[in-house]
Amino acid sequence: MADPDAGIVPVLRLDRFVCEIAFRTSGRVSRRWGQTLRGGFGLALRRLSCSRRRETCGGCALFTVCPYSYLFETPVPPASEVMRLYPHAPHPLIIESPDHAPGVPEPGTKIRFSFILIGKALEYLPYVALAFQDLGAAGLGSDKVRYDLLGIFGENGQERWMPGGKAAAADGTALGLSPGQSRHCRFSLRLVTPLRIQTAGRINRAPDLPDIAEALARRIFLLRYFYGDGYTEILAPAYRPAAAGAVPLERKTAWNEHRRHSTRQQRDIPVGGVTGWLRWEGDFGVLEPLFRLGEYVHVGKNALFGLGRILASDDSL
């Protein structure tokens, strides 16, 4: 655990990467690209990483160092001070589906999608690149639509991996966790993909700013604890006054109900959530660092396959 008196600047190191692919065959992929990418990528990464060919990761001697188990079955360390009753920690990987993707791509169609790696997961970028390449050879969706991975790029367009080349472990960008300087204005939050959070133990179908800020602060705290400096001071109290003090102005949201089939659990799982946008007037300056991190790490359940994506904006600019 980090010493709270050591003058540590609270940060979380992460990075977003952009995959560009070109389809080689045609066929139906999915209406839910995030879920399809997550499922296919998980299988490809498991085949690439697992040397034991076990059916489950439990009991494997390589569990704590295997790329697949680290990204998909992330263990809670035995000495952990948080989540000790849970089998897995929040995943340090988020896959973001393409903004505009055809359900039935034609040969030659090019699309881009993103993924985020957090903390130590940045070291596994070479495995992630090869797994996405292998997924293209195996094919996406029930029709096994094949693609070529043309390259992986950083957010500013720099090459991070090209076919035939090497992908080095990434350093990532350190984003601050401390509240920002006070700045009052009108601001908006767009819920790009379904946001599914719980408030007082119940699914919240109409979350307001304090609900969203609380859930986001907890998620970032856990990600920092497991993949950052192990700091155990919770973040939410620093943001609560600004979130509670914001005045609601407009709201246009809707509940999107859908389910996904879990091959591992052999059942359908509800993954519905809220989409739309909300607008307030208040101290956006204090809240902005929380939102900017949230734009990377997402908020709520099923962030691994892209749900809970948010975009914040200062409406005075």
Q: pLDDT tens-digit profile of 250-284?
A: 999 999 987 766 666 666 777 889 999 999 999 99
- Residue 74 and residue 93 share a domain: yes
Do 38 and 145 share a domain, yes or no? yes
pTM comes to 0.91
Among 96-105, 160-169, 250-259, 279-288, which stretch is predicted with the lowest mean pLDDT? 160-169
Does residue 223 lie in a domain region?
A: yes
**What residues contact residue 297 under an 8 Å CB cut-off, 6+ apart?**
12, 14, 94, 116, 118, 219, 220, 223, 303
Can you tell me the mean pLDDT for 96-118? 92
Q: Are residues 86 and 219 in the same domain?
A: no
Q: Which residue has the higher pLDDT, 74 or 213?
A: 213
Residue 4 lies inside a defined structural domain of this protein: no
For residue 56, is it within any domain?
Answer: yes
Q: Are residues 202 and 90 in the same domain?
A: no
Q: How far is CA 114 from CA 65, 111, 140, 166, 290, in A?
A: 24, 10, 16, 19, 21
Last residue of a domain, one of 146, 173, 200: 173
Domain span including residue 212: 177-314
pLDDT at 158 > cutoff 70: yes
DSSP, collapsed to helix, strand or coil, labels residue 29 as: coil
Same domain, 67 and 147: yes
Answer yes or no: is 1 within a domain.
no
pLDDT band, residue 100 (cuts 50/70/90): confident
- Whole-number average pLDDT of the chain: 89
Query: Residue 272: inside a domain, yes or no?
Result: yes
Which CATH number is 286's domain given?
3.30.70.1900
Residue 3 forms part of a structural domain: no
